Amino acid sequence: MIIDAHTHFAREGRGRPPNSVEDLLCILDMNKIEALVTCAPYSSIGKDRTYDEANQFLAESMNKAPSRILPLVRVNPHLKENALESIQRFVGEKRFYGVKVHPRNEAFAINSEEIAYPIAKATTKLQVPMLIHTGDPDTYGFAQPALVGDLADAFPNLTLIIGHMGKRLYEDAILVARWFDNIILETSFRSPREIAHAVRRIGADRVVYGSDMPFGIPEIEIMKIRLCDISPMEKDMILGGNIARILNLEGGR
Ligand SMILES: [Zn+2]
């Protein structure tokens, strides 16, 4: 069972294709992907700097294929009231699977008590994970994976997924994941060698496959997991078992 733990999806004109549920499901079928975790791309941000419209598109898409499209609500943490209200509306009421934040796009530090902590608090309360973009190039160093450690320390019951495993800063991502066991690493853009290295350092149960589609290509990102020097069972965990556990998919959500 393959579940893609990090993708983006928006309607036509607001993000790269695929832009329809039909086209999206076609890509899933081609790659034997059971389901995908998805959120709004930066290109879909509104003139009001919210993701309201983009989140609503995902809610409608989820309704067309609820077992396969697993959305995260994307928020702009600078707009505190809107962000908290969006988390409540889309996760609390519409049953989205978590929250996505992007410290570089939205220009905030993930360890900012003023900007990031209220979002983390609301997410913890709803018992869903938070996916955080990390890596370089970066805005003022805001997207460094090491900063996620502060959040992991302050919110031990919150599952934090480090997107792209910090990109070139993957050693920092692995280090901070060793310190805090509520941190999970997502594999998009990393090499088989680096992914296998992460598995040896923190265990296969804390690494999840992601493609970052449409920016990454699922075929290639899946192939990288298959080429890792790890056991078949570990590959299965990374390709889908772990994210199914984290999202409580079997628990009858
Ligand atoms: Zn992303």
Q: What is the Å distance from ligand 1's center to 252 Cα?
A: 26
**From the centroid of its chain, how far is CA 161?**
6
The strands making up 2-8's β-sheet, listed across from edge to edge, are 2-8, 33-39, 69-71
Instruction: Tell me how far apart the alpha carbons of residues 15 and 226 are, in angstroms, rounded to a whole number.
Output: 29
Q: What is the Å distance from ligand 1's center to 8 Cα?
A: 6
Domain extents in the chain: 2-246
Q: pLDDT tens for residues 51-85?
A: 999 999 999 999 999 999 999 999 999 999 999 99
The answer, yes or no, to whether residue 253 has pLDDT greater than 90, is no
Q: What is the Å distance from ligand 1's center to 199 Cα?
A: 22
Give the pair of three-digit tokens for residue 187.
Answer: 């594999």
Q: pLDDT tens for residues 154-165?
A: 999 999 999 999
Q: Do the bridges between strand 130-133 and strand 99-101 make them parallel or antiparallel, or are there none, so unpaired? A: parallel
The domain covering 2-246 belongs, at the CATH homologous superfamily level, to: Metal-dependent hydrolases (3.20.20.140)
Q: What is the Å distance from ligand 1's center to 187 Cα?
A: 12
- 50: left (phi > 0), else alpha (psi -120 to 50), else beta? beta
Instruction: Tell me how far apart the alpha carbons of residues 155 and 158 are, in angstroms, rounded to a whole number.
Output: 5
- Has this prediction a pTM greater than 0.95? yes
Give the containing element (helix H, strand E) for 131.
strand 130-133
